Structure 1
């Protein structure tokens, strides 16, 4: 599902990389660029009704707080329909 902001992804890639480097400095090295982009699209820009200028998009990226992202990631993980995957289901079946 493509949204309005996807057209700017290549242009704002350095800002995404910078934010991910900041996450790494604070010990959150498992966050990927795609996950950060999904957070921005699904949470930060969810209700955007008008176009934003490039500097506003970059500002949104650089102002992401780790706690905000982690809260989003936690909620998304709980929404996931398949917690165990196929391999986990086999292990679960053995236990039960």
Structure 2
């Protein structure tokens, strides 16, 4: 997998990441790990990032809302879930979508 251009700045951005995680903890989401937040940023926020400037990266980290992160985490967990790949999981999903 190719490295994302923002990966060069991860160590420099660590204080901003930790600050955002502390905000999540205060809001009752203490299980979010720094790797989860970084993955969200790389795959969602910065997916098509062309202009990599550290102040823009820091601003994007501080602007993350818990709702958008949790939506991303929920979708990712469904993508990796074995439940949806089974007949029982499909029946459950069909029932939920009625």
Q: Same fold (TM over 0.5)?
A: yes
TM-score (norm 2): 0.80
Unaligned runs of 5+ in 1: 84-96
Q: Which has the higher contact order (CA 8 A, sep 6+)?
A: 1
**Higher-helix-fraction structure:** 2
Q: Which residue of 2 aligns with 1:28?
A: 29
Q: Which residue of 1 aligns with 2:54?
A: 54
Equivalent runs, 1:8-19 vs 2, <5 Å: 8-19=9-20
Unaligned runs of 5+ in 2: 84-98
Distance 2:78 2:30 in 1: 21
Residues 40 and 72 in structure 2, CA contact (< 8 A), matched pair in contact too: yes
Distance 2:14 2:75 in 1: 25
Residues 5 and 52 in structure 2, CA contact (< 8 A), matched pair in contact too: no
Q: Which residue of 2 aligns with 1:69?
A: 69
RMSD of aligned alpha carbons: 1.1
Structure 1 runs (4+) deviating above 6 angstroms are: none
Secondary structure of the equivalent of 2:12?
A: coil
Distance 2:47 2:56 in 1: 15
TM-score (norm 1): 0.81
